[in-house]
């Protein structure tokens, strides 16, 4: 089920496309270990297409285009030794939702700044019957659009310094401050 991106309008989508261009110019794409070699090669162009749709479309395309690997390398628990693990069955959803959400947040922040605004606000974009306390604590908080944009650009992938959006499966996103 896709997230409810409140400000996913034409202007935000245009700024999302500009953020993809930024990533191309700075070789800044996050390529998940869940992606196959073909998936990693295809990822930038797939994100370009996804700008016109949503995270559910991206998830579906990851699956039907066969972009996931079967196994990935990870560290053994409580060890420095590496092992091969099976890519989780939820990988396409987790990757699509997380990366589309980050791209949306970047596009929104860029759009807000271009409109003369400076602040965005966290909200719940997906209903959760058992929300995490750290996700609930962020709802309603306002953030500098400039700081969030720079943070997400500087930290491709899951973790960012500001924690907005707060990682995979959080269901938290950003919106314009009215």
Predicted TM-score (pTM) of the model is 0.92
Would you state the pLDDT for residue 1? 58
CA torsion through residues 46, 49, 54, 60, sign:
negative
Please, what is the end-to-end C-alpha distance for the chain in angstroms? Answer: 27
Q: What is the CA radius of gyration of the chain?
A: 16
107-157: pLDDT as tens digits: 999 999 999 999 999 999 988 777 777 778 889 999 999 999 999 999 887
As averages over each run of 10 residues, the pLDDT of the chain (178 residues) reads: 90 98 94 95 96 96 97 90 94 93 96 97 87 83 96 82 68 91
Query: What DSSP character marks residue 39?
Result: H
Going from N- to C-terminal start, the domains of the chain cover 10-176
Would you state the pLDDT for residue 142? 96
- Tallying the residues shown for the chain, one arrives at 178
Angle between helices 37-50 and 91-114 (to 10 degrees): 40
Please list, in sequence order, all residues whose beta carbon lies within 8 angstroms of the beta carbon of residue 92, skipping any fewer than 6 positions away.
59, 62, 63, 68
Q: How far apart are CA 87 and CA 68, in angstroms?
A: 8
What are the residue ranges of helices labelled H in 6-144? 10-25, 37-50, 55-64, 91-114, 133-138
Q: How many CA atoms lie within 13 A of 36 on its CB side?
A: 11
Residue with tokens 């896709």: 2
3-state DSSP assignment of residue 73: strand
What angle is formed at CA 24 by the lines to CA 23 and CA 29, rounded to 5 degrees?
50
Q: How many CA atoms lie within 13 A of 88 on its CB side?
A: 9
Q: Which two tokens stand for residue 106?
A: 């970047």
Q: How far apart are CA 98 and CA 78, in angstroms?
A: 26
Please, are residues 93 and 59 in contact by the beta-carbon 8 Å criterion? yes
């Amino acid at each position: 089920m896709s997230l409810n991106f409140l400000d996913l309008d034409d202007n935000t989508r245009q700024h999302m496309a500009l953020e993809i261009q930024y990533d191309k110019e700075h070789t800044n794409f996050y390529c998940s270990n869940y992606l196959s070699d073909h998936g990693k090669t295809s990822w930038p162009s797939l994100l370009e297409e996804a700008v016109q749709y949503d995270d559910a479309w991206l998830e579906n395309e990851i699956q039907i285009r066969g972009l996931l690997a079967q196994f990935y390398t990870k560290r053994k628990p409580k060890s420095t030794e590496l092992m091969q693990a099976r890519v989780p069955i939820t990988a396409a959803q987790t990757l699509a939702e997380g990366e589309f959400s980050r791209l949306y947040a970047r596009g929104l922040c860029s759009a807000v700044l271009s409109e003369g605004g400076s602040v965005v606000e966290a909200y719940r974009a997906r209903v959760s019957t058992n929300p995490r306390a750290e996700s609930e604590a962020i709802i309603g908080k306002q953030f500098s659009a400039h700081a969030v944009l720079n943070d997400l650009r500087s930290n491709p992938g899951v973790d960012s310094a500001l924690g907005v959006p707060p990682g995979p499966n959080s269901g938290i996103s950003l919106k314009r401050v009215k």
